[in-house]
Amino acid sequence: MRIEGLEIRSISAADTYPLRHLVLWPAKPYHYVQLEDDATGKHFGGFVKNELVAVISLFVEGPEARFREFATHPSFRKQGIGSRLLLHILAVAQEVGAHSL
């Protein structure tokens, strides 16, 4: 099933923390989800009806980029949201001159 009405927007690192915690590290303390290099990353959220349902963070270092902390709310999985976020960050990485991800 594909989700209709998905909007991808730039968000702050702090906006990613609730989903990172819920999906990636629910048993860890909340501060565990904060990365040392969050301030240098580009963070994106997938919104459905203005609700943040997925997050991904992109870190670009010269010609190389990497994504980290990729999480989709369990209620919104298997709907193509993650795939759309990946395609979005691939385009962003290319726009800023990264040649590999």
Structural domain boundaries in the chain = 6-95
Superfamily of 6-95 according to CATH? Gcn5-related N-acetyltransferase (GNAT) (3.40.630.30)
Q: Which residues pair with 66 in a beta bridge?
A: 59
H or E segment and range at residue 11: strand 6-11
Contacts for 94 with CB less than 8 Å, ≥ 6 apart: none
Model pLDDT for residues 22-75, shown as the tens digit of each residue: 999 999 999 999 999 999 999 999 999 999 999 999 999 889 999 999 999 999
Pick from 65, 58, 64, 23: nearest CA to 44: 58
Q: 73 with 22: CB under 8 angstroms?
A: yes
Evaluate if pTM is beyond 0.85.
yes
